[in-house]
Chains A and B, each alone.
Chain A
Amino acid sequence: AAGVIQSPRHLIKEKRETATLKCYPIPRHDTVYWYQQGPGQDPQFLISFYEKMQSDKGSIPDRFSAQQFSDYHSELNMSSLELGDSALYFCASALARYNEQFFGPGTRLTVL
């Protein structure tokens, strides 16, 4: 069965650089969520989209932005990267807002 696809799987950047993470939801899923998971921590909600519109915003820094495109894939844009941004970034998709979220494998971002 198709799952959530995230790219790249690993990314190494220097401080103050920019990064773009991509997420391809399960086909026909209309909702995408972005999470940040630091080492040994639970996932922290960043932002979500429903039908290509931002539906909710969590602890996403102002340096980050995201959007969902017409084909439902989503991109998380991160600028002025800081060491503390090093984490695992998960994307999840769901069919309708109240259903369970299915997670991608994550992108491991390392900021040097």
Chain B
Amino acid sequence: AQSVAQPEDQVNVAEGNPLTVKCTYSVSGNPYLFWYVQYPNRGLQFLLKYITGDNLVKGSYGFEAEFNKSQTSFHLKKPSALVSDSALYFCAVRDLDSNYQLIWGAGTKLIIKP
């Protein structure tokens, strides 16, 4: 069965420092991977996706993610964190047993301190 793991409940980063939010996945075939961000009391916003091609994917708000097939990881990164990046981040993989469902990670709370 497909699954997604976000090993960190919370990540604390000082403003201006690089940030990484981890995600690992388990799928039976080629993964479709996504990152979404959720600000307090707001809906989920799409950040970026990996389907095929270049392993480094660039997305919204300066975020990028690196697909690593051997490590089955899709970590979210940003070179220089902003306080406004503080939010809940979800990694998701498309369930290949079901063409339409997203399997979600538990979410990682990112806190950027000034």
Q: How many residues of A contact B (CB 8 A)?
A: 23
Complex CA gap A95/B46 in Å reads 14
Interface residues on B, range: 20 to 34
Determine if A55 and B100 form an interchain contact, defined as CB atoms under 8 angstroms apart. Answer: yes
A56 touches B101 (CB 8 A): yes
With both chains docked as a complex, state the minimum distance between the C-beta of A57 and any C-beta of chain B, in angstroms: 9
B105:A33 contact, CB within 8 angstroms: no
Q: Which of A14-22, A42-50, A66-74, A78-86 contacts B (4 or more CB under 8 A)?
A: A42-50
Residues in B62-104 with C-beta less than 8 Å from chain A: 90, 94, 98-102, 104
A101 in the interface (beta carbon within 8 A): yes
Is B55 located at the chain interface by the 8 A CB criterion? no
Residues 1-49 of B contacting A (Cβ, < 8 Å): 32, 34, 36, 42-46, 49
Looking at the assembled complex, report how far the CB atom of A22 sits from the nearest CB atom of chain B, in whole angstroms: 15
With contacts A90-B43, A100-B46 taken as known, whether A42 is within 8 angstroms of B101 at the C-beta atoms is: no
Interface flag for B51 (CB, 8 Å): yes
B43 contact set on A, CB distance < 8 A: 4, 90, 103-106
11 contacts between A and B (CB under 8 A): A33-B102, A43-B90, A45-B101, A50-B100, A56-B100, A97-B100, A98-B94, A100-B34, A101-B102, A103-B44, A105-B42
The 7 closest A-B pairs by CB, nearest first: A42-B104, A103-B44, A103-B43, A105-B43, A56-B100, A100-B46, A48-B100
